[in-house]
Amino acid sequence: ALLDHLGSKGVVNLLVEGGGSVHGAFFDRRLVDKVYAFVAPLIVGGETSLSPVEGSGVAVMNSAWTLDVVRTEQIGPDWLIIGYPRKESESPDSLDAEEADDQPYF
């Protein structure tokens, strides 16, 4: 409902910050067309550790999302990765140039 409302107001870009369940919900609905991911050189671990992307996940690795990385940048000890998500089994070349401007990149 919120995304429909924003779309009716002409909003075509939205920065979504949240936890794993928020990010997972957007991936599950294929609403992510660009990712800005920060990676820190820290290992947290633990059975109850949270994931940055929860949602339904995948049963096998070849069904996982991949990022077509546009840029990486070191910021202090952390890394920023910017890319376009797609399912491993889907090729970005399957969209022609006109469709690619109007469609999520996955």
pLDDT in tens, the chain (106 residues): 889 999 999 999 999 999 999 999 999 999 999 999 999 999 989 999 888 999 998 888 888 888 998 899 999 999 999 999 986 555 444 444 444 444 443 3
pTM over 0.95, yes/no: no
Three-state secondary structure of the chain: CHHHHHHHCCCCCCCCCCCHHHHHHHHHCCCCCCEEEEECCCCCCCCCCCCCCCCCCCCCHHHCEEEEEEEEEEECCEEEEEEEEEECCCCHHHCCHHHHHHCCCC
